[in-house]
Amino acid sequence: MESLKGRVVLLAGATGGVGAQVAKQLSVSGAIVFITGRNTEKLAEVAQQAGIPESRCFQMDIADEVSVNATVAQVLAQTPVIHILINAAGIGVIKSMDTLTSNEFERTLQVNLMGAFYLVKAVLPNMKEQKKGLIINIPGVLGKVPMAGAAAYSASKYGLVGMMQSIREELKRTEIRITNIFLGGIDSAFWDNIDLRVQRDKMIVAEEAAKAIWFLCQQPASGVVSEMVLQPFNHQAI
């Protein structure tokens, strides 16, 4: 496994339950972590808990290409290289087709799919200069196995998987690695505003999900973990 000490990590979506835990674990491991989020108060709280200086915190709207490009430019103004990109940002809309609105569908695609596109497109030139790097996305289990009421969410995550597989083909002559981690049933704020009966006490806690991402950041130089699936023991969909 490769050491994280001194590795530069850009973590988008650090204010979420899993993202906040990833920030802490990477920082403790000696990584130089830059974090983003839309809520500045939550971002400052995560930074304080993780021991990340204010200069490495950026308010960013992943659904806005201008915001993404400006953030990446500010990160690269502080460091010549980004070793690892982690996209933990995203939204979830779980509604049946008769209640799902066009705006909700479009917003889900804009954040989960277009946002990932903006982020990878902004960071990739720096990684291509190095001819190495690691990109981690979190499609979630619904990016592999759909469920009722997840038309918008699954569309965005299936699109993300297909996009990253295509990009992987473009990068075969480099050492830029791409990993998708399919998380299912994480006890986080994702479920707070979703009208669906779920057993959150049987879900994976955010800290354990973050440990899986922390582990993936230390992949050996000689190989790559293309995919990882992490689900609650009693609720396996894959």
Q: What digits encode the pLDDT tens for the residues 121-175?
A: 999 999 999 999 999 999 988 888 888 889 999 999 999 999 999 999 999 989 9
Q: What is the mean pLDDT of residues 210-227?
A: 94
Catalytic residue from among 118, 153, 182, 190: 153
Contact 117, 137 (CB under 8 A): no
Q: How many other CB atoms are there within 10 angstroms of residue 102's CB atom?
A: 8
Residue 216 half-sphere exposure toward CB, CA atoms < 13 A: 29
Nearest by Cα to 89 from 110, 65, 116: 116
d(C-alpha 46, C-alpha 19), whole Å:
9
Output the CA–CA distances (angstroms, integers) from residue 157 to 32, 112, 143, 146, in the order listed: 28, 7, 5, 10
Examine the residue annotation and report whether 153 is marked as an active-site residue of this protein. yes
pTM for this entry: 0.93
